[in-house]
Amino acid sequence: MAIEEEAAETAAPKLIGRDRVTDAAATLFSAGDDSGQIPDKFVEATGEDEAFELPVVDMAKLLDPELSASETAKLGSACRDKGFFQLTSPGVDEEVMRRMKESAAEFFRLPLETKNAIAFRGDDIFHGFGHHFNRGPSVGNKLDWAECVLLATQPVEGRKMDMWPANPPSFSSIPGCRDALDKYSLEVMDLTKRLLGFMAVDLGVIEEALVGAFFSDDGAVKGQNVAIHHYPPCRQPEKVLGIAPHTDFLGLTVLLHAVDTPGLQVRRGGRWLPVGPLPGALVVNVGDILHVLTNGVYGSIEHRVVPDAERGRTTVVMFQDASADGLVGPLPELLGGDDARARYRSIGRDEYTKGHFVAVAQGTPFLHSLKK
């Protein structure tokens, strides 16, 4: 069966949809397209790039009373100007990070049949294995050159444990010991809280206002999801995309390179600039909700992934949700009580999700529609 037909047959009913990884796609991925012909379904124009260094922010310096002020200023200018930064010395337990990386890399080495044991089911495209959800008919429903596990990680009640990989065993519960993803999820929660504290200082708002948008009073995070991506090598990387251009629609994103091949690109001034992995660092970026909460002071910037010609790439990307009193809108603390200063209108958190996915399906930037 041709890959287009096979993909169409396995696509979920959609507003936006997601495709299963078929045998044909898996064969193509493992060959790195050596057969020469990339099926049309994958071909997308990828355009130019050039060297680019992301700002580097050091958590150890943020925490050092003598260096904190200048490092906080660096953090602030990274979030304002670039929307992305590399976070060195993130303070995440190294053993937890190592196990997370290994589990992620190992999962994608399993045969497709094993991975498809947790293939997303029916309309529920936000849990389980497949391609990333596609960006809708406006971009031709193209397939990403990638496979991906999407899961809800927090709050714990929202988890669908039957969709968590049972293989490798380090992903799932080991008696007396929590699994790699659960531990890493908690580490990223703590990290998010620390970072938000410094962002609040930079923004000049009380810490509770910003932290409270991400965490409930009892300290639980409002929501956290993970996307674990594998981008196989492709000998014609200029023809395909690992993930199509998008902004992240939640609050704050924390990316761990499990296999540190370059591939992430950030849009700046109409050009695509590559972000090289930095050993031991996490890549952090501002999502759409943080953009709106900060009244556009921090920028949610478009990015995409291009596969490498020679080497595969694996990433573990955690998205932290946020809302203030159930709304996505500028933080009142930032407006100094003057609503006229709001550059974005406030909408309910549920309405925000719906609006976002309608916009994705139509290929329109949702943030613009929230502008006053």
Ligand X SMILES: O=C(O)CCC(=O)C(=O)O
Residue 322 binds which entry of Fe ion, ligand X, none, with Cβ cut-offs from 5 to 8 Å by kind? Answer: none
Return the number of the residue (201 or 305) whose C-beta is nearest ligand X. Answer: 305
Q: What is the smallest separation between the CB atom of 146 and Fe ion, expressed in angstroms?
A: 12
Residue 254 binding ligand X, by CB under 6 A? no
Residue 213 binding ligand X, by CB under 6 A? no
Return the number of the residue (321 or 333) whose C-beta is nearest Fe ion. Answer: 321
Q: What is the smallest separation between the CB atom of 227 and Fe ion, expressed in angstroms?
A: 8
Residue 360 binding ligand X, by CB under 6 A? no
Residue 222 binds which entry of ligand X, Fe ion, none, with Cβ cut-offs from 5 to 8 Å by kind? Answer: none
CB-based closest residue to ligand X: 315
Residue 356 binding ligand X, by CB under 6 A? no
Residue 308 binding ligand X, by CB under 6 A? no
Residue 227 binds which entry of ligand X, Fe ion, none, with Cβ cut-offs from 5 to 8 Å by kind? Answer: ligand X
For residue 149, give the nearest of 112, 103, 118 by alpha carbon.
Answer: 118
Residue 229 binding ligand X, by CB under 6 A? yes
Give the footprint of Fe ion on this chain (CB under 5 A).
Answer: 248
Among 11, 16, 210, 227, binds ligand X (CB under 6 A): 227
Residue 264 binding ligand X, by CB under 6 A? yes
Q: What is the smallest separation between the CB atom of 274 and Fe ion, expressed in angstroms?
A: 15
Residue 286 binding ligand X, by CB under 6 A? no
Residue 320 binding ligand X, by CB under 6 A? no
Q: What is the smallest separation between the CB atom of 162 and ligand X, expressed in angstroms?
A: 22
Return the number of the residue (267 or 311) whose C-beta is nearest Fe ion. Answer: 267
**Contact residues: ligand X, CB under 6 A:** 227, 229, 243, 248, 255, 263-264, 303, 305, 315, 317
